[in-house]
Amino acid sequence: MWLAAKSLQLKANSFPILINQPAMPQTITHISLYRLDVPLKEPFVISLGPIETVQNVVVSIHTTEGLTGWGECSPFATINGETADTCLVVGRLLAQALKGRDALDIGSSITAMDKTIWANSSIKSAFDMALHDIAAQAAGLPLYRFLGGEANKELFTDMTVSIGPAQKMAADALRFQQAGFTVVKVKLGGVPVEDVVRIKAIRAAVGPTFPLRIDANQGWPDVETALDVLQQLTPLNIQHCEEPIPRWQYQHLPRLSAASPIPIMADESCCGPHDAERLIGIQACPLLNVKLGKAGGLRKAAQIVQLAAGARMGMQVGGFMESRLGMTAAAHLALTSPFIRYCDFDTPLMFAADPVLEGIRYEAGGRVVVPGQPGLGAAPDPGFLQEVTKI
């Protein structure tokens, strides 16, 4: 059972200790924004709608000392209220606020961005990622070490089955199992009766013991409906369920979690550190899903990790539809706490083209290998960037 941490208070300076931060400033000279549109191999469908083409934004920050930091965001209109177009507009404002600042003073830069405009966590996460890339390069450390993490555990991603006809979903799950993935995540949140049929078909296809996770993406309208579905799915050996009810019903999560035979994971209801603090305070659920694009970047995501670890809550680090650029940053974060038990890094495998050089590497069984060179260890392919919109 997770613990309520009554003594946990979110403090402005409660960030991870940055190791070997050099004294020489890295003054920001210019910033570039790129619109990254990449088609998917096939449509990816969740309860909030289908996705056929990824529409991301890449940020590059350049300094007087010759360092370049890269960041990426994958805006999601139905979750964080942003699109690639809004990110490009807001990105101009953020670039103006950061130009001339010391890139190594990440806290000051985040404060400047938050004072410039409220919310817009997705585009802010791309700037935050690029700043961390520069700072880790300047310190001569891989990003996970710069964040205080260690390469002391293996990371394995799930592979996600998007929502659709039961037999198609079962076939996809079986295909992922046969490809060697050790766990499959299933998108639900449709008609409850049909969702139960979907999982039964998948379980029949992959066998009784193969690990399955489910994600309703707020698709079930209330606690009673969600609980009915979860109780019917109990015999089917489900690891956990993400965001079963609408995010604005977060105050009902304690009741649902207490009654549910399947552990509940907060996703859309847990965006930034203040959301995490609130959910921990009401003992909403035993698990949190941390995403850079929801939190506003690595700095605030690390705060969530600290809060959840202090409450001894399990976590998953995931993402939206980032390429290997953004997912590499997420993987670095996943190495910073033993309470991060699950990884959801599969979206780059859905891309019809890979626009990234270096970065995380996918191996057998869904194993994710994190780069060990200083900084993020990933950058966009220059040839790919020549073909996209640049500001």
Residues making up the binding site: 215, 242, 267
Give residue 375's Cα distance to chain centre.
19
- Clarify whether 291 is annotated catalytic: yes
Q: Is 11 a residue of the active site?
A: no
Query: Which residue among the candidates 187, 200, 294, 300 is catalytic per the annotation?
Result: 187
- Binding-site residues for Mg(2+) sit at 215, 242, 267
Encoding tokens for residue 159? 């592979």
Q: Hey, how many other C-beta atoms are within 10 angstroms of the C-beta on 178?
A: 9
Query: What is the distance between the alpha carbons of residues 294 and 15, in angstroms, rounded to a whole number?
Result: 17
Q: What angle do CA 88, 74, 179 make, to 5 degrees?
A: 150
Q: What are phi and psi of 160, to 5 degrees?
A: -100, 135
CB atoms within 10 A of CB 22: 12
Spatial separation of the C-alpha atoms in residues 340 and 290, rounded to whole Å: 9
Residue 136 three-state SS: helix
Residue with tokens 């985040």: 110
Considering 291, 294, 300, 390, which one is annotated as catalytic? Answer: 291
Count CB atoms within 10 A of the CB of residue 232: 15
The C-alpha atoms of residue 260 and residue 220 are separated, in whole angstroms, by: 14
Q: What number of other Cβ atoms are within 10 A of residue 101's Cβ?
A: 18
Closest CA to 360 of 338, 333, 340: 333
Q: Cα–Cα distance between 69 and 133 in angstroms, integer?
A: 5
User: Residue 181 and residue 158: Cα distance in Å, rounded?
Assistant: 7
Helix (H) or strand (E) holding 357: strand 356-358
- Rounded distance, CA 328 to CA 343, Å? 12
Cα–Cα distance measured from residue 288 to residue 265, given in angstroms and rounded to the nearest whole number = 5
Secondary structure string (H, E, C) spanning 82-132 = CCHHHHHHHHHHHHHHHCCCECCCHHHHHHHHHHHCCCCHHHHHHHHHHHH
User: Do 317 and 298 touch, CB atoms closer than 8 A?
Assistant: no
For residue 337 the two structure tokens come to 């706490």
Q: Which residues belong to the active site? A: 187, 291
